[in-house]
Amino acid sequence: MSQNQTNPEITLESIQNFTGKYPRQLWYLFSIEMWERFCFYGMRGMLAVFMVEKLLMEDGAVNLQYGAIQAFIYIFTFVGGFFADKILGFRKSLFWGGALMAVGGFSIAAAPADMFYIGTCFTIIGTGFFKPNISTMVGYLYKEGDSRRDAGFSLFYAGINLGALLGGILMIWVGKYYSWGLAFALVGIVMLISITTLYFTQKSFGPIGLSPLSPSMSPQKKRTYEIATYVGSLAIMPLILILIKNTHYTDMFMLIAGPLTLLYVFYEMTHHTWEENKKLIAALVFIVFSILFWAFFEQSGGSLSLFALNNIKHNFLGIPMDPNIVNNSSNSLFVIIFAPLLGLLWVWLSKRKMEPNSVLKFGLGFLLLGLGFYVFYSTVGFATPEGMTSLEIFTIAYFVVTFAELCVSPIGLSLMTKLSPNRMQGLMMGMWFLASGYGQYVAGLLGHGMSVPGTEASAMEKLIAFTAGYKQLAIYALIAGVALLALAPLVRRLMGNTK
């Protein structure tokens, strides 16, 4: 693979001096990431339904298993960010991660029930190398202080959700109504498209994403480091297999991994100035709150997926519609429609010095998340005696939750690149996704707590249990939002001139 291809006439300065709202390289990264998110969100939407219908697991166990798998996918973005920063560079990390994801998809497709966990291990490692590093490359397209950065990340986020929309509709439909094997095969196919797109557009990125190893290091030594990274990432798969199959081991891992990675970040901070470290402390505040945000938001792949399967009517305004497809795609559709508009709104407000700062955007995101989960709770008032409730109200809840996500996730991606020194950008982006992993883990625990034990519960019993849980999440999200807004003055001082 010739991932180090570059055009000497394209410099970092020439890329960052683009005219207009978006650099052309952003559109390439948009399409590369779109296919990876097709896989991720398509599989996320299938996991709970697949485990219930194909693996015959009960709801509580499904929530725990879902949380464990999703947690490790995000945890390994920290690992992928670390090795991209230290050895591979962003481009080789993307090629390697994309190839592993393709292998994972094709493996499960060959025998969905028997190869599910093995293929999932490939997907976990592959996503770890892919996801944090493409987001970091987006950050390099902008100069420090460029007010267009948030708009760029919002557009990039729309690309994420275009893939999520396509995968969310197609993979759950193919899996439920045609073939689970073919649904997983789509993962392999579209990831091959993704890395092929990267191969043919990589020259336009100039020096962005090349190996961080010293130019004075011998080619043979560089190659040894790279091969060791590839081999090591494969060698760890048996351990991942044990961890995701037994959620008790997942609990132990989560108790150990978070503190250790945080200690490593503190160690890296000793190599930076106080001004740099104040910004890193601010980044860590956002990361901690993001754990809470994703713990609530990511009910979408666990408890909300089961809620849609068991308790939502199969029609929308009189039109027949599978509620699991709505659950897995409505959020993405709303993001595609509103993310670019919201990004342009931030630019418009910035020019008039009226744009809310990142802390206020985060706080607003929690308040909207609380409102969205209150709407999920309100579906209990529209239920039939059989425990089936309104798909329309369910969809309205996702509409509200979408705006909560748009105030947090694309802004968070942008903040990690703005608040981190260059040599820690991949690491801090990995920390952002590691926090998402902890959010996924807690989401699984929360979903398990809402589930009615056993397999004999009625639809009404499940409806009451889940909606009561959503009411509690609404309250917790409101409290978190108020707390973050109260901390806003302190966090703003830590951020310095970063908005």
Domain boundaries, given as residue ranges, for the chain: 22-495
Nearest-angstrom CA–CA distance, 471 and 478: 11
pLDDT of residue 5: 58
Dihedral angle over CA of 336, 17, 8, 3, nearest 10: -20
Task: Please state which of the four CATH numbers 1.10.1660.10, 1.20.1250.20, 3.40.50.1000, 3.40.50.2300 is assigned to the domain occupying 22-495.
Answer: 1.20.1250.20
Residue 320 β-bridge partners: 315
pLDDT of residue 2: 46
Q: Encoding tokens for residue 314? A: 């199969």
Q: Is 499 helix (H, G, I), strand (E, B) or coil?
A: coil
Residue 476 β-bridge partners: none
pLDDT of residue 1: 47
**Beta carbons of 446 and 110 less than 8 angstroms apart:** no
Q: Encoding tokens for residue 158? A: 């729309």
pTM of the model: 0.78
> Which residues are within 8 A (CB) of 497 and not within 5 positions of it... i.e. 6 or more apart?
145
pLDDT < 50: residue spans in the chain = 1-3
Question: Which pairs from 398-402 meet CB under 8 Å and 24+ separation?
Answer: 398/326, 398/327, 398/330, 398/331, 398/334, 398/372, 399/330, 399/334, 400/368, 400/371, 400/372, 400/375, 401/297, 401/331, 401/368, 401/369, 401/372, 401/373, 402/331, 402/334, 402/335, 402/338
Residue 209's φ and ψ, nearest 5 degrees, are: 90, 5
Nearest-angstrom CA–CA distance, 61 and 86: 38
Dihedral angle over CA of 145, 147, 150, 154, nearest 10: -150
* CA-angle at 356, arms to 354 and 362, nearest 5°: 170
Q: What is the DSSP string of 3-20?
A: TT---TT--HHHHHT--S
Nearest-angstrom CA–CA distance, 171 and 167: 5
Q: What is the DSSP letter of 312?
A: B
Strands, DSSP E only, in 184-280? none
